[in-house]
Chain A
Amino acid sequence: MKKMLSVLLAAMLIVTAFGALAEAPTSFTEAPYITNLGTYGDVTERLPVASDVMVEDADYLEIGVYGGELKTSASTSNWTAGKIIEEGLFRFKIDGTVEPNVAKSYEVSDDYTTYTIHLREGMKWSDGQPFTAEDCVWFYNAICLNKVDSKGVRACHKDANGNPAVVEKVDDYTFTVTFGTPKYDFVEAVAVDLKWHWAPKHIFEKMVNHILAGEDAEALAEAKAICGVEFADVGAAGKEMLYYFWNYPGIPTLNPFVMSTEAGKNDIKGDYYEFVRNPYYFKVDAQGQQLPYVDKITYTAIQNVDQSLMLLLDGSVDWQTVAMGSLSTIMSDANVPITINEWPGGEWGSVTTQMHWNLSIADEKLNALFNNIAFREAMSICVDRTEFAALFSDGWLEGGQAAPSEGALGYSEEWAKKWTEYDVAKAKELLESCGLVMGADGYYDFADGTDFTLNIVSVADSGAADTYALLKVYYDAAGIKTTFRDYDRSNIDVMTQSNEIECILYPVTGIGDISIILKPNSMVPGTATNVVWYGNMTKETATGDLLELINLKEKLDVTGDPAERTAIAEQMLALHEKNMWTIAYVEAAPAYHAVNGRVHNFPAQGVWSDIYRDLGFAHSQCWFIPVDQQ
């Protein structure tokens, strides 16, 4: 598993090379479901022009058959259905590079200030209307610049000075994005940050114009006419319909599946809903069959994730990302064949065992202690990782540290093993070097005699209480007095925002991601508001190596040369390795995707990261179910 990232990289290079040699299909076929409806006409007319049709021909893909439905469970989350069907302007390949997706191609000026994006000629929205550069330009100028979708101008559209880009139409299938200063990572940033760069102008123009003119009642009436929902105010209408657009019926998209318009099947908050095939979807398989293969994805509401596991066991749910602890249940109790696909993620060590100290905590004594590297080392080496990992993971995982996985940028064996040697005596020496003194009760106190207690918090029902029970034995043996309390998830978030948390086990936002360049939020102070280890630290309050880390991030933002960018990223990671601002006790677990054996084309290899939209590499449009199992 550890070497998977490197293997994937090599495999994908080979796949890409062979893929380039394959001949693109020139004639196209459609699903019998569409033919039988008899209302959509010739498939060739619905696809982009033949040379602009996108072919899904990755090496692992089998040629599929049409029909059937994919069944899964639903929560009321906005992203449940979105992530698995999302189509971006660009998309990540499994090796971490970016390729055009909805865009056909792009060019960038020599000074990295102007990007010219080419779209696919003849491409259509899911309602059959032409998709053109006008939809992309209008989206940015009318919606993003005016913050109609509540998000406004994304980071990918801002130059080094924070000024928004200028987006202009060249012709029906070309538009440009121009920055005031060089923007080296626009393509990657679009893929991470925004994904889409369009809205159906023919649907939304009237509504958005009403919103911009302050005509709220007219805007809300228009919103209701489009998707049938009565929103409380225009802010909600804009956010829901233009940002979470895939969740609402009647809004055309470019995705392989769109929300059903049938009553009883079209409410994301309801007990049941369906995403049905988009007859105008722009991708085909290697034989020219228009994708997707299955007719629909159906979602049934559940109230607890364990219910989804039960439904997986009897075949009522086709796929689910499951916890490590559920694997043995699946293996022993499933009534249908289920395949487990392990996808490595980007986290540094198992998040469940990550310990974050708030380096910007207001309490002076705690602040000094947490910022003392000797304290962090003591907390790391006072735990017997071999024993702990065996107990914690039932023997599935080994002891580890908060460090990048093998194959990822910044990995070094030294870092992965740093401070992992169990040594209680040394831990005590280190604690004493921090100024702590052993009290009469067998626990360390501050030098002034006041009690030192490490108050650890975590999220209720996360399993952290059990993890803490194991860790407490080691902490007690080292003379470190601890308390533990778990809170409801919303309380933890409020406490994080208000910088009240001293120390957290199993943080909501763990440190580490697949790339410090693409998503530094969990690794660089000041880039997010929900990371405990740096709390409310900013450039103004950071000192030493933390300040250096922030400075390097700023340097990265204005550096174009890829080799130089990698070098800066390596420097940033080296600072992490040197300081170990957070620790973990167990190696990172992969994401386990349990998939019903009837579903074909689920990739056995992938990478689990929000940068890649979690299941983004799964490409649900390519999944199919053999006819006899539909």
Chain B
Amino acid sequence: MLKYIKKRLLLFIPTIIIISIVIFFIIQLPPGDYVSSYVAALAAEGETFTPEEIAAMRADYGLDDPWYIQYFNWVKGIVTEGDFGYSFEYGRSVWSVIMDRLYLTLAVSFVILIFQYAVSLPIGIYCANHQYSAGDYIWSFIGFLGTATPNFLLAILMMYWIYMATGEVYLGLFSHDMLQNGLRMEYLPEFLFRCLIPLIVIGTSGTCGIIRTVRAQMLDEQVRQYTLTARAKGCSEKTIIYKYCLRSALNPVVSGMSGSLRTIFSGSTVSAIVMNLQIQGPVLLQALKTQDMYLAGTIVMIQAILVVVGTLLSDIALAWLDPRIRFSERG
């Protein structure tokens, strides 16, 4: 097992290098660069630039170098100084922009992740144990509805309904008063209410997949011979379901968690924009749109690293969860 982890860790380095090159190359692909989008944005507000000014800006930002030189300088900064570069859009270091939103993003995404599993695991088990019952159909219908409805649409609908019911617009996690006066206990009820909207909107999107997976796996496991044997030997249904079937049924769920780290880091994007959540996803989208390449590159690279790490962790978790994998590794 240790040898396996070591091998995976060594593979990690070339994987990240290749990913970073691909990321940087792709970010550079669209025509134009940050300066052109910056000039365009300001020109729309009436500011004028001479071609000399534009050229000087490109030189200042190092944008007139070929992309591989820019890549090399960026990587050199990361390796030698831990410097992920400068965000043109925010006018400060990339790392400080990421850190600004990291805690809120982690909190929001983590709560949503817990919500998804806390809701879908029991429902999946219930549906498997009550196959083709009314409850199975109702939960499956709700689950499918959650998946089939685009998140951003659900967000718009929820905000509309709340506006029509209360006359207030609930945008973002923090109200104007919270932003102005800081977080106080008196704001807690409103804050929790504001959290509820993204929780439902983003949370429901992933639930159906988990429900269906758990349901299908559980049904498969329940007709396996070991289940029959356990039942024949007089094991209680509770033991059969939770100790044997569920454990096996969780395999695909756990391997599916490998992408969760990335999701936790960046959060949702489109829904976050619609609901005005100040998390990482919208920052990435804006960085890509304005070709703020070091910021976009860093966020995407961290996401890639998290996918790689997540895969490793889920493999380890699987090995722990499923003795068959452990034993086959030993063998």
A307-B276, A491-B30 as given contacts; A236 in contact with B163, CB under 8 Å: no
CB within 8 Å of A: which B146-175 residues: 159, 163, 167-169, 171-172, 174
In the complex, the answer to whether A490 meets B174 with C-beta atoms within 8 Å is no
Cβ proximity bits A283-324 to B, threshold 8 Å, 1 near / 0 not? 000000000000000101111100100110110100000000
User: CA A349 – CA B226 in complex, angstroms?
Assistant: 79
What residue of chain B has the Cβ atom nearest to residue A232's Cβ?
B86
A310 contacts B174, CB within 8 Å?
Answer: no
What are the interface flags for B91-108 relative to A under an 8 Å C-beta threshold, 1 for contact and 0 otherwise? 111000000000000000
Any B CB within 8 A of the CB of A509: yes
Please report the C-alpha to C-alpha distance between residue A271 and residue B40 in the assembled complex, in whole angstroms: 24
Point out the residues of chain B lying under 8 angstroms from A240, CB to CB.
91
Measured CA separation A552–B253 after assembly (Å): 74
* Number of B residues, CB within 8 Å of A: 50
> Which residues from A are CB-within-8-Å of B36?
490, 493-494, 497
| Chain B CB within 10 A, most for which of A77, A83, A490 | A490
Inter-chain contact A494/B32, CB cutoff 8 Å: yes
Q: A298 contacts B43, CB within 8 Å? A: no
Interface residues of B in 245-290 (CB under 8 A from A): 272-274, 276, 278, 282, 289-290
Interface residues of A in 519-544 (CB under 8 A from B): 521, 528-530
A3 within 8 A of B: no
Give the interface centre of B42, B45, B91 by most chain A CB atoms within 10 Å: B91
Distance from A419 Cβ to chain B, minimum over Cβ atoms (Å):
29
Question: Are B51 and A529 in contact, CB atoms less than 8 angstroms apart?
Answer: yes
B315 within 8 A of A: no
- Rounded to whole Å, the gap between the CB of A596 and the closest CB of chain B is 14
Q: Is A610 interfacial (CB 8 A cutoff)?
A: yes
Instruction: List the B side residues contacting A491 at CB < 8 Å.
Output: 30-32
Q: Which residues of B contact A310 (CB under 8 A)?
A: 159, 163, 169, 171
User: Does A554 have its Cβ within 8 Å of any Cβ on chain B?
Assistant: no
Q: Of B50, B57, B272, B290, which contacts A490 at CB under 8 A?
A: B290
A314 and B163 in contact (CB under 8 A), knowing A240-B91, A303-B282? Answer: yes
Known contacts: A298-B180, A303-B273, A335-B167. The answer to whether A78 contacts B32 by CB under 8 A is: no
Smallest CB–CB gap between B97 and chain A, Å? 8
Does chain A have a CB within 8 A of B176? yes
Q: Which residue of A lies closest to B36 (CB)?
A: A494
Known: A232-B86, A493-B32. A488 touches B289 (CB 8 A): yes
The CA-CA distance from A314 to B168 in the complex, in Å, is: 6
Nearest B-chain residue to A192, judged by Cβ: B46
Residue contact B169 to A316, C-beta cutoff 8 Å:
yes
User: Is A467 among interface residues, defined by CB-CB distance under 8 A?
Assistant: no
- A497 CB contacts on chain B under 8 angstroms: 36
Residue B48 lies at the interface, judged by CB distance under 8 Å to chain A: yes
Q: For B93, what are the chain A residues with a Cβ–Cβ distance below 8 Å?
A: 230
Does the CB pair B179–A271 fall under 8 Å? yes
| Residue ID in chain B nearest A488 by CB atoms | B289
Query: What does the 1/0 interface line of B166-205 toward A look like (CB < 8 Å)?
Result: 0111011010100110100000000000000000000000
Q: How far is the CA of A182 from the CA of B56 in the complex (A)?
A: 31
Inter-chain contact B43/A79, CB cutoff 8 Å: no
Contact of A233 among B46, B60, B291 (CB under 8 A): B60
Q: How many residues of A contact B (CB 8 A)?
A: 53
Question: In the complex, are the beta carbons of A300 and B179 less than 8 A apart?
Answer: yes
Docked Cα-Cα span, A302 to B168, in Å, equals 16
Quick check: is A411 within 8 A (CB to CB) of the other chain? no
Asked whether A144 is an interface residue with its Cβ less than 8 Å from the other chain, the reply is no
Q: Given A230-B93, A269-B91, A310-B163, is A508 in contact with B48 using a C-beta cutoff of 8 Å?
A: no
In the complex, B131 has a CB within 8 A of chain A: no
CB <8 Å contact, B90 and A269: yes
- Per-residue interface assignment for chain A, residues 71 to 89, with 1 indicating a CB less than 8 Å from any chain B CB and 0 otherwise: 1000011110001000000
Q: Is the Cβ of B44 less than 8 Å from the Cβ of A508?
A: yes
CA distance A521 to B56 in the complex (A): 22
Task: Closest A residue to B41 by CB, please name it.
Answer: A77
What residue in chain B is nearest A150 (Cβ atoms)?
A: B53
B272 CB contacts on chain A under 8 angstroms: 303
Q: Is the CB of A489 within 8 A of B171?
A: no
Which of A256-277 touch B at CB < 8 Å?
Answer: 264-265, 269, 271-272, 274
> In the bound complex, how far is the Cα of B169 from the Cα of A71, in angstroms?
14
Q: Is A235 an interface residue (CB 8 A)?
A: yes
Quick check: A229 and B91 within 8 Å, CB to CB? yes
Contacts of A229 in B (CB 8 A): 91-92
Most chain A beta-carbon neighbours within 10 Å: one of B32, B37, B57, B278: B32
Question: In the complex, what residue of chain A is closest to B45 when comparing beta carbons?
Answer: A79
Report yes or no: A271 in contact with B174, Cβ–Cβ below 8 A: yes
Q: Which residues of A contact B168 (CB under 8 A)?
A: 314
B218 to chain A, nearest CB (A): 41
Residues of chain A contacted by B278 (CB below 8 angstroms):
271, 301
Q: Mark A218-233, 1 if CB is under 8 A from B, else 0.
A: 0000000000011111
CB-CB nearest in chain A for B164: A333
Whether B31 contacts A495 by the Cβ 8 Å rule is yes
**Of A78, A316, A488, which one neighbours B42 at CB under 8 angstroms?**
A78
> Is there a chain A Cβ closer than 8 Å to B89's Cβ?
yes
With both chains docked as a complex, state the minimum distance between the C-beta of A227 and any C-beta of chain B, in angstroms: 11
A492 at the interface (CB under 8 A from B): yes
Q: Measured between alpha carbons, how far is A492 from B37 in the docked complex, in Å?
A: 9
Give every chain A residue within 8 A of B47 (Cβ-Cβ): 79
Q: Contacts A271-B278, A300-B179, A303-B273: A493 and B89 contacting too (C-beta < 8 A)?
A: no
B49 at the interface (CB under 8 A from A): yes
Complex contacts, B159 vs chain A, CB 8 Å: 310
Residues of chain B with a CB closer than 8 A to A490's CB: 30, 32, 36-37, 40, 289-291
Do the beta carbons of B49 and A489 come within 8 Å of each other?
Answer: no
By beta carbon, the residue of chain B nearest A529 is: B51
Which residue of the partner chain A has the closest CB to B100? A270
Determine if B39 is an interface residue (Cβ-Cβ < 8 Å): yes
Closest B-chain residue to A492, C-beta based? B40
- B273 near A304 with CB under 8 A, answer yes
How far, in Å, is A536 (CB) from chain B's closest CB?
10
Check A521/B169 contact, CB under 8 A, given A298-B176, A492-B40: no
Contacts of A79 in B (CB 8 A): 42, 45-47
A240–B32 CA distance with the chains assembled, in angstroms: 23
B74 → A minimal CB distance (Å): 14
Nearest CB in chain A: distance from B55 CB, A: 11
How far is it, in angstroms, between the C-alpha of A493 and the C-alpha of B32 when the chains are bound?
Answer: 8
A433 to B202, CA, bound (A): 60
Residues of A within 8 A of B42 (CB): 78-79
CB contacts (< 8 Å) of A232 on chain B: these are: 86, 91-92
Task: Write the chain A residue with the least CB distance to B43.
Answer: A530
Interface centre among B39, B49, B171 (most CB of A within 10 A): B171
Taken residue by residue from 220 to 236, chain B's Cβ proximity to chain A (1 for < 8 Å, 0 otherwise) reads as: 00000000000000000
Taken together as a complex, chains A and B put the C-alpha atoms of A495 and B37 apart, in Å, by 12
B295 CB → nearest A CB, Å = 12
A272-B179 CB under 8 A given contacts A229-B91, A311-B171, A314-B168: yes
Of B31, B44, B46, the most chain A CB neighbours within 10 A belong to B46
B169–A493 touching, CB < 8 Å: no
Cβ–Cβ contact A311 & B169, under 8 A: yes
Residue of B nearest to A231 (CB): B91
Assuming the contacts A310-B171, A311-B169, A490-B37, asked whether A71 and B163 have C-beta atoms less than 8 A apart, the reply is: no
Supply 15 A–B pairs (Cβ within 8 Å), ascending by A: A71-B176, A76-B89, A83-B45, A150-B57, A232-B91, A264-B179, A274-B180, A298-B176, A303-B276, A311-B169, A311-B171, A335-B167, A493-B32, A497-B36, A508-B43
Given contacts A78-B45, A231-B91, A492-B40, 9 further A-B contacts (CB under 8 A): A150-B53, A232-B91, A301-B276, A304-B274, A307-B171, A316-B169, A490-B290, A491-B31, A497-B36
Residues of B within 8 A of A (CB): 30-32, 36-37, 39-51, 53-54, 56-57, 60, 86, 89-93, 159, 163, 167-169, 171-172, 174, 176, 179-180, 182, 272-274, 276, 278, 282, 289-291
Nearest first, the 6 closest Cβ-Cβ pairs linking A and B are A610-B46, A493-B40, A490-B37, A494-B32, A272-B179, A314-B169
